[in-house]
Structure 1
């Protein structure tokens, strides 16, 4: 028999969610506070998005509109000439491939190593486990730019200067601590009873991980790989310091920093090159959007 809401105890009535009518009867102070928060969110959104918007529309504007004293918030005569100029520039396709190869290599290495380390930290109990976790957190908090001189000396003494393989290893080290920390949360959120049930059904630990844990980790792997991709794709300092003589091994951020010097005041081509540089990350995010959202939610709690 269903108990009428009027017969519920005081605690139950307090915990009961408010009805739409009750929400509509908010006081003036509450409504004003909600409006202020919404306006603040819109201001933050506008400040964050407007530079990117201005970069994109500038890439589509003719040079006469870019140099006009009256700025326009939409190109009156859109053109693709600046994109053609950027894509036909010396080294664009080569440096784009270099960036993609280094980024994908670093992310894949970080995912493999971090997955094993995160599983050991989240599922096993061993001496030094807490110290290991603390060291990973310290490595994540350390500014990697402070190690630039040390990395340069190591690369010089080992003969790894001007090599994309050295850059891949450095990006791997940069993204590894964050990947371990994030995947540890995802693995901890998966109930260990699922693995135990697979073991009781005759699976080995490796088979239980492959058939049970790994499919459930797919959203977490997508989210982690996206953030690692963004970090490695946008990195500039190490790429600029370690690739000196071999101009063919430069990455896209380094090429983009000198793009304006080649074309002088051609801001349209510069903005088009920056837009093209942003496209891979945007496309990866759009493809993995649903997986990333569910993965971020799943990794936020321990189930």
Structure 2
């Protein structure tokens, strides 16, 4: 799954590019984060009070605000997935892929599946290469709503040391839907990294689970081939059912048929996949970076 270190590295690469300096390597970021004093908020801990029963435990609140809201409301969401932002809104793709979410203008709340590990010094990833997406959002300081600022990724397996660096810059500076991110915008940003896993060909157009799978479609209509993709969090963020998700994704691909006729297109192929995401905001990156500078 994606880790805090992956997100910190993306911030480091972008800020270094805008500040005209040489960035730390992924290995250096990972080593530094392991030494960084993160406090109890990083790990789930059980604290037994003298006045409480021995079995009573208090768990540190998840640092991701959406995961905290989900935990507090008692809702359960299937599977481990998603970007999102994690909060990913619309995603753009390099030539190798074509993932997108519905709108590049509206705000999209973060979605993090229940069961995702909280971030901390004990969380480590042994993944060294993966298909990946990097999403940049601007975060409102008052409402904490997220607005997509750029998202580009690839379905081609990438070494994380080079893939994260490349797509952190592609998504920030080369998403054709947005102007390039500027140095002055850094304090308003949040980055989300999604590593894609478990690719499977679906037995049918609806052979996938909401909140668990992202889907990539390919179909034929009006003498041309169409294709597009959504990351796992998109349908849940938008409140769609499976058919609504399929119609929206087909629209994204450029299909203009009647929504009632979506299942009648030719040669529909659906590939499902999962995505393990993590996100970090500028303040967290800046606190870590300040600590690194004092070492």
TM-score range normalised by the length of the shorter chain: under 0.3
Structure with the higher helix share, 1 or 2: 1
Relative contact order (alpha carbons < 8 A, sep ≥ 6): 1 or 2 greater?
1
Structure with the higher strand share, 1 or 2: 2
Q: Which has the larger radius of gyration?
A: 1
